[in-house]
């Protein structure tokens, strides 16, 4: 996706998408074999880049109008529901998490037992630095573990809430931009990737997303600020 976006950025320099640039971009998209979800992400990045080149409010309004019109029209023809599964030990689950964090544009809601994988920590810090709102619900006892990244992420700007209970907040799910859900047994730890038998299910099914978002919002209202 970075390579395809690079071609698009270059074409913005002279405001023209030339025939050669179109050909190169088409080749990259074909070679990478992007699925429909990834193509929608790329489309979103295109509008983000376009906004950077126009400072006048009237121009930004036109771009916003164009993006919203695209959202109304294109999903009818291109949106499809998917469900992917990933397993550990190995990098599949971790890579899935890191990819979705990288894709996030507006908001990430995370509800997990613990976070102690520094690769995930660093990617979440990257998301925070580019303006993504990150909310984390986690188990109060696990925040005191050696290697816990919760306090670090809070200092970097994440909003954190804990269960403050003798029982465990044992969920492991995350919602990205209200568009993608990750759920499963996978703990966001180094051990989960290296040693444990774990799993993640990734889906854009709106019914599942709405259900998990309701649970997140309910927990967010009732739990304590870290």
CA angle 215–115–172, rounded 5-degree value: 30
The encoded tokens of residue 4 equal: 């395809």
CA-to-CA dists, residue 113 to 40, 169, 189, angstroms: 31, 6, 10
Cα–Cα nearest to 25, from 6, 47, 51: 6
Q: Which of 177, 207, 218, 221 is catalytic?
A: 177
Q: Is residue 168 annotated as a catalytic residue, yes or no?
A: no
Q: Which among 123, 142, 171, 172 is annotated as catalytic?
A: 172
Is residue 8 a contact partner of residue 47, using CB atoms and an 8 Å limit? no
Q: How many helices (H) and strands (E) does the chain have?
A: 9, 8
CA atoms of 165 and 138, how far apart (whole Å): 11
Which residues, in sequence order, are CB contacts of 164 under 8 Å at separation 6+? Answer: 140, 223, 224
163 is catalytic: no
Active-site position among 170, 171, 205, 207: 170
Active site residue 177: yes
Q: Is the peptide bond before 9 cis (omega within 30 degrees of 0)?
A: no
Active site residues: 170, 172, 177
């Amino acid at each position: 996706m970075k390579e395809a976006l690079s071609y698009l950025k270059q074409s913005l320099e002279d405001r023209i998408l030339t025939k050669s640039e179109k050909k190169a971009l088409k080749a990259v998209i074909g070679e990478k074999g992007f699925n429909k979800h990834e193509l929608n992400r790329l489309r979103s990045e295109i509008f983000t880049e376009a906004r950077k080149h126009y400072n006048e409010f009237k121009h930004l309004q036109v771009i916003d109008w164009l993006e919203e019109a695209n959202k109304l029209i294109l999903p009818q023809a291109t949106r499809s529901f998917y469900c992917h599964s990933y397993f550990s030990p190995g990098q599949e689950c971790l890579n899935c998490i890191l990819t979705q964090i990288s894709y996030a544009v507006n908001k990430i809601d995370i509800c997990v037992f613990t976070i102690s994988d520094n690769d995930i920590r660093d990617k979440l810090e990257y998301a925070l630095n580019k303006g993504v709102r990150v909310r984390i619900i986690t188990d109060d006892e696990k925040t005191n573990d050696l290697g816990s990244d919760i306090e670090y992420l809070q200092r970097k700007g994440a909003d954190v809430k804990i269960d403050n209970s003798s029982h465990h907040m044992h969920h492991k799910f995350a919602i990205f931009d209200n568009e993608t859900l990750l759920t499963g047994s996978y703990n966001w730890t180094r051990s989960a990737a290296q040693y444990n038998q774990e799993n993640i299910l990734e889906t854009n099914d709106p019914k599942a997303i709405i259900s998990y978002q309701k649970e997140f919002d309910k927990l967010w209202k009732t739990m304590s600020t870290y």
